[in-house]
Amino acid sequence: MQDPRIRILAACLLSAAAFISLIGAVAAVAWWLLFTPRLRCIRHRMAVFAAWALFCVVSLVIYLSGGDGISYLVRMTAILLIGTWLYADSVQGDFPVLGTWLLGPKTGFELGMTAGMAMQSADGLGDDFARVRLASAQKQVPWGIRSAISVGRVLVCDALVRADEMAELLAVRGYRRGGTCCPRFRTPVWDIAAGVCAGAVILVAVIPVSEFFILYR
């Protein structure tokens, strides 16, 4: 999808639909199957699988404690798929452009730039994680909860240090507030169709299914 406005709006609508109801989640997965490159768009497959495994564990706990674990799993899976598609489809510079278009050159640009930097940081996390694991393995630290906490600490501290360095760099370069950005978007028909269908998905999630089938009533 080329238009970041439609991409992000669609992701928000689909995530909300999946969160609201099981029907919405199924419709969101159907949308994902129709409008995205499906499994080919998943980056960092191991991380996605780990997140999904975590959802499976939580849903099992919900199921065993008498709740609707299956509904939870389907809804969270839909949100995960939409999130991975949004992440994979984003290109550098999307967020400042979108932010400026939405909220103007001050607040919008700043929010967009912050989101862009967060995405950039997320991109590097996978590589950093691999390096930290290799370093731990060389020290013969067994992989477990304790070492996972240690790895998490390193990654979080590293992200904070980089954010701090980036803030210093911006200050040194004289950045004070806002910025200039001339948003231009390409909106192919396919993007519009995908956006309209995402709108239909949220309707399906919000309006009871029986409302669509008069004969059924």
Partner 1 sequence: MEVPIVRLVLENSVMSRPDWSLAADGTFTPGIHLVSGDVGSGKSTLALLMAGLAAPRRGAVIREGIGPAMLSFQFPEFHVTGLSVADECRSWGLEPGPVLVSAGLDLSMDRPALSLSRGELKRLHLACLLSREYDLLLLDEPFSSLDCPGKEWAAREIGKRSRGITVVFTHEQCIFPHTDHIWEIQEGALVDCGGMPGALHAWEHAPALIRRLVMDGTVPDDLTQDAIMEAACRTRE
Contacts with partner 1 by CB under 8 A lie at 128, 131-132, 134-136, 138-139, 141, 147, 150, 153-154, 157-158, 161
Instruction: Quote the least distance from Cβ 51 to partner 1, whole Å.
Output: 23
The three-state secondary structure class of 177 is coil
Instruction: For residue 80, give every residue at least 6 positions away whose Cβ sits within 8 Å of its Cβ, in sequence order, or none.
Output: 48, 51, 52, 55
Residue 161 vs 192, nearer CB to partner 1: 161
Closest to 11 (Cα-Cα) out of 190, 189, 185, 198 = 198
Residue whose CB is less far from partner 1, 25 or 132:
132
CB of 143 to partner 1, least distance (A): 12
In angstroms, rounded to a whole number, what is the distance separating the alpha carbons of residues 207 and 197? 15
- CB-nearer residue toward partner 1: 40 or 184: 40
Gyration radius from the chain CA atoms: 21
Which string of DSSP letters, residue by residue, matches 74-123? Answer: HHHHHHHHHHHHHHHH--TTHHHHHHHHHHIIIIIHHHHHHHHHHHHHHH
Nearer to partner 1 by Cβ, of 142 and 174: the residue is 142
Q: What angle, rounded to 10 degrees, do the helices at 94-103 and 109-138 form? A: 150
Whose CA is closest to 76, among 35, 12, 32, 15?
A: 15
d(CA 109, CA 114): 8
Nearer to partner 1 (CB atom), residue 156 or residue 193: 156
How near is the Cβ of 12 to partner 1 at its closest, in Å?
A: 34
Q: Which is nearer to partner 1, 152 or 208 (CB)?
A: 152
Check residue 139 and report its DSSP letter.
T
Q: Quote the least distance from Cβ 128 to partner 1, whole Å.
A: 7
| Least spacing, CB of residue 208 vs partner 1, in Å | 50
Q: How far is the CB of 122 from partner 1 (least distance, A)?
A: 18
Question: Position 215: which residue type?
Answer: L
